Amino acid sequence: MALFKKVGIVGIGLIGGSLGLAIKKYKIAQEVIGIVRRKKTIKEALRRKIVDIASRDLRLLKDVDLVILATPVSKIKEIAPSVSKVIKNDCILTDVGSTKKEIVLKLEKLFHNYIGSHPLAGSQNAGLTFADAKIFKDSLCILTPTKKTLPEVIKKITVFWNKMGAKVELLSPSLHDKILSYTSHLPHLVAFALMELIPSKYLNYSATGLRDTTRIALSLPELWRDIFISNRKEVLISLKDFGNKLYTLEKIISKKDVKSLYLFLKKAQRKRIKLL
């Protein structure tokens, strides 16, 4: 038996579209409704059988059992009140936003059966074109319950992600935002800053090192602007921390302190090996 009868996805981009494909592939729901703004996306979503019904009309969510808000971070907060007016009482709700504190605070006021999700999946390639059921396989999805979250909602949403091949871990919204500011938001800021800095005429003299280090600077500026602003408190802390590290390196190098420099690099390399 399917986990849900009817699932609604609001926003059919890379993540929303991949969710539609994965829900069908793993038979997680009998029917998938896609709420999409653009006509072109409606057509494409239907053509690729990502959803069974695609429409701009939120009222189609009236009898779904699960709604996933998969729009960019700033749009999640905007659209949530309208969604809360049309769904039925026992409908479960989650979102896939990359920041959680601000979103969870707002959404748990609007929805009784809500839990925040953050699937660490996807890539710099935005949009439905790159939607793929497999992106969640062997990935990590962080759920961010609070004191208000109902245990059965945690359980059901955990099973939901597990069925798509994702491992689930629970973090509070605050801790999520703190950790991700280091492991995701800061690396994105750094990649964007590197590209912004390097003179265009120098770019011919680069190799795979620069390409890999700045791959995520290909990500959509609109999405990341919203993420940096939404999580600005933590982002500013990690940015300041990182600035201090660079200042440490600056001092070490200008003093030609080869021993400290070696130890710094070695410590970094050891930690990076853990990520292999």
Helix 221-230 with 232-254: angle, nearest 10 deg: 100
Q: Please, which residues bridge with residue 119 across strands?
A: 141
For residue 264, the minimal CB distance to a copy of itself (Å) is: 6
Residues from 43 through 102 that contact a copy of itself (CB under 8 A): none
Phi, psi of 251 (to 5 degrees): -65, -45
Do residues 79 and 207 touch, judged by C-beta distance below 8 A?
no
Residues from 187 through 216 that contact a copy of itself (CB under 8 A): 187-200, 202-216
Which residue, 151 or 221, is less far from a copy of itself as judged by CB?
Answer: 221
**Is residue 170 a contact point for a copy of itself (CB under 8 A)?**
no
**Is residue 130 a contact point for a copy of itself (CB under 8 A)?**
no
How far apart are alpha carbons 161 and 146 in whole angstroms? 19
Which residue, 1 or 197, is less far from a copy of itself as judged by CB?
Answer: 197
Which residue, 48 or 106, is less far from a copy of itself as judged by CB?
Answer: 106
**Is residue 272 a contact point for a copy of itself (CB under 8 A)?**
yes
For residue 152, the minimal CB distance to a copy of itself (Å) is: 25
* Contacting residues for 256 by C-beta, under 8 A, at least 6 apart: none
**Is residue 138 a contact point for a copy of itself (CB under 8 A)?**
no
Applying CB under 8 A, among 121, 128, 143, 164 the residue interacting with a copy of itself is 121
For residue 118, the minimal CB distance to a copy of itself (Å) is: 9
Tell me the one-letter amino acid at 4: F
Interface mask (CB under 8 A) for a copy of itself, residues 224-243, using x and -?
xx--xx--x--xx--xxxxx
Judge residue 243's burial from the number of C-beta atoms within 10 Å of its C-beta, 0-12 exposed, 13-18 middle, 19 or more buried: exposed
Ordered strands of the 53-55 beta sheet:
53-55, 29-35, 4-10, 66-69, 92-95, 114-120, 140-144, 167-170
For residue 5, the minimal CB distance to a copy of itself (Å) is: 31
For residue 225, the minimal CB distance to a copy of itself (Å) is: 5
> Mind giving me the DSSP string for 38-51?
-HHHHHHHHHTTS-
Which residue, 37 or 232, is less far from a copy of itself as judged by CB?
Answer: 232
